[in-house]
Each structure stands twice: as C-alpha cells, then as structure tokens.
Amino acid sequence: MTQVPQRPALYAPGSILKPLPPEQFVDLRVGEASPDDLTGDLALNAETRWEAMAGRDYLTPNELFYVRNHAPTPRIEPSRWRLRVEGPGVKRTLEIGYDELLRLPETSFVRALECAGNGRALFEEVQGRATPGTPWRLGAIGVAEWTGVPLREILERAGIKASAQEVMPEGLDAVRMRRPMPLEKALEEDVIVAYAMNGEPLPQDHGFPARVIVSRWAAVASVKWVGRIHVSETPLSSPWNTDKYVLTGGGFGAGRIPVEAQGLKSALELPWPARLRRGRHTIGGRSWSAQGVITRVEYSVDGEPWRAARLVEPNVPGAWVRWSFGWDARTGRHDVRARAMDTAGNVQPDETPFNDLGYLYGAVVGHPVWVR
C-alpha cells in the first residue's frame, strides 16, 4: 500500500477552504517555472514543455505535469475534508474522511491525463483557423501512476439503486467544477478516487487531498479536490457538459456533443520551434491513444516517405509509448512529422475536423526545426 503521510494543517480550522484572491491566470509553461510557481495559490494553466521530457523515463514527474484550473487551487486541510456521496441514485448518504479513504481497498495504475483542449493552438498554427480558449500546443498531457479507491467501491458502500443513472463528482474549488458520467463508466475498474500520484500524496494543484481519475476520458471528467459525488436517477448536466467541453460548430453544426473519450496524438520531445546543430541526431517523441494501444509510429522529414520509428517499451494501454529515430540534419528549415496508429485501426489524419471551441486536435503536426 502506498504510504501517504498526513499533511500538516495548512490553515486554521473553521472552514476547509481558504478564500483566495480573485482569479489570476498565469500563462507559463512547466519547465520555465520555479517549483514555487507551480504550487501557489493562483489559478494556473501551465503546459509541459516537450523538450523537458526528452530522455526521461516513462512517467511525467509531478513537478512537470501540466496544470489546468478553472479557479484558484483551494487549500484543503485533510483532517476536515469529507467526501460525501448522495442523491436519489444511492440508498444512503455516505461520508468518508481522508484517513478512512486511505484504508479502503486500493488500486494503482499508470494512465495518461489529457486536456480536451490539448493541441488547440494548432487549429490556428497548422490549419489556419483560430479558436478561443487556452492556447495549448501539445503539452496538456501527462502520464502518472495513480493510486486510489475504485469509485465502484465507494458507490457500493452507499448502495447503488437499480434505478441509478449518472454519477457527478464535484470539486471544492470556487467554481465547484463538476461533470456527469454514466453509471457504467463510473463502475469501470480504472475509474478511481485517487489520493496519490507517482507514489506521493496528490500535489495541491493536482487535487489534494483527492481527485477522480476517469481513465481514457478527457481530463475535465477527472474532478480535482473532489468533495461530493452526486448519483442520479435522471440525466445530469453542468456547464462543463452543456456549454464548455462540447463539440460544436464546424463539421458538428449546431449540435453540442460532450467531449468524452480522447483520441490519438504524437509529440516530438523538442522545443517549438526547435533549433539543432547540423549532423546526426536521435529525435525522440511519444504517442498516445485513448482508443487502444499504439502499434506503430512513423516519421517523415520534409515530405519524404513515411518510415517506422523505433518504439520503446513500456506501452501501457491508456497511457503512451516512447519512440525515436535517427536523423542526419542538414542546414536549413525543416518540417518533421510523426503519426501514430493504434490497435483500434486509427491513424492520425492530416486534418482535424474544426470545431468552435478547439477540442480534440489529433492531426499530424509539422514540427518546425531550424538546423545550422
């Protein structure tokens, strides 16, 4: 069992939430920031710089893991924290404290967490059509080992009624971020209430003391600082599945389809744009699919025929695979591309269907590389 040390009280008892200054969004990238900047009180949106992943192990270290907040990070004192499970879909209201949560049957697995908007800036930079919202390139993804209690264990302790339909975790942040999922999704074995990330207690910005991890779904479903789980007998809605995080406009017309499952992407472990000295280089990258396991990754420089990159184990379903290829770089400006394929038969396309809010960019990206 992963040992999670008790944290000291972060502030005086009385309220479990410390009022914080008005939203201040800081546009910085993980890797440019000092560790202090990454654990502060700010509503922080920070993406992992891909060059910071070059040559690293499989997992994203906690301090390099992207942060996406809709409101400032709340500071929660674990001894006062409670998770309440309630609603017409359960037989009784259940309250679980932090120590109790740590004593429930636990599970650990390695999975990616990826923002639905990852790659949004590329709609403009590659496809020439801008969308509003946080302009992530490809760094709004990370892979970690998550440890926690299966949501099923917790729901069963509250007694799931035969009529139960949807499950909506709610965060304790100022916006009370919440988003529903069908009961069947909530009961999957890799949907958990997590309290540890890469063997450490969840960092504050990643949801301390506990967050939901909904494997394979856009990370907006993985509610941080979870305080309440509502179980309904009817379909539920929240601004995050009706107005935000929906596919609408472009090829989707007037419909509003909530973003759920993630797709397929690849990224090079290089700065954007990259600058290299001429000569022989090993170029590394990672590819991931929420729909299956990556079976093959190909690369192409300056429009030359696609060739296979060398995959590096492990290749965990629902996480990513590392790969590399050798390149003899000549002076000039180059366009380096990678595309992945998965066991579900998906291949990264040359273009992503446009949608107004810029979700699920999955097309092949020409990475600009200057060589001198």
Choose, by CB under 5 A, the member of 68, 337, 339, 367 that binds Mo ion.
Answer: 68
244 binding partner (options Mo ion, ligand MTE, none; Cβ < 5 to 8 Å by kind): none
Question: What phi, psi does 106 have (nearest 5°)?
Answer: -115, 165
Interacting residues toward ligand MTE by CB under 6 A: 65-70, 113, 115, 171, 173, 177, 206, 219-220, 222-225
Compute the distance between CA of residue 250 and CA of residue 271 in angstroms, rounded to an integer.
30
230 binding partner (options Mo ion, ligand MTE, none; Cβ < 5 to 8 Å by kind): none
Q: From the CB of 180, what's the least distance to ligand MTE, in Å? A: 14
Q: From the CB of 50, what's the least distance to Mo ion, in Å? A: 18
171 binding partner (options ligand MTE, Mo ion, none; Cβ < 5 to 8 Å by kind): ligand MTE
Residues 1-20 that bind Mo ion (CB under 5 A): none
| Residue with the two structure tokens 């995959």 | 311
219 or 338: CB nearest ligand MTE: 219
49 binding partner (options ligand MTE, Mo ion, none; Cβ < 5 to 8 Å by kind): none
Q: Which long-range contacts (CB under 8 A, 24 or more apart) does 42-46 make?
A: 42/72, 42/73, 43/69, 43/70, 43/71, 43/72, 43/73, 44/69, 44/73, 44/205, 45/69, 45/134
Question: Is residue 293 within 8 Å of 306, Cβ to Cβ?
Answer: no
Residue of this chain nearest to ligand MTE (CB atom): 171
Those residues with Cβ within 8 angstroms of residue 139's Cβ, 6 or more apart along the chain or in another chain: 29, 30, 47, 48, 49, 50, 66, 118, 267
Question: Is residue 135 within 8 Å of 126, Cβ to Cβ?
Answer: no
Q: From the CB of 225, what's the least distance to ligand MTE, in Å? A: 5
Choose, by CB under 5 A, the member of 64, 115, 336, 340 that binds Mo ion.
Answer: 115
Residues lying near Mo ion in the complex (CB under 5 A)? 68, 115, 220
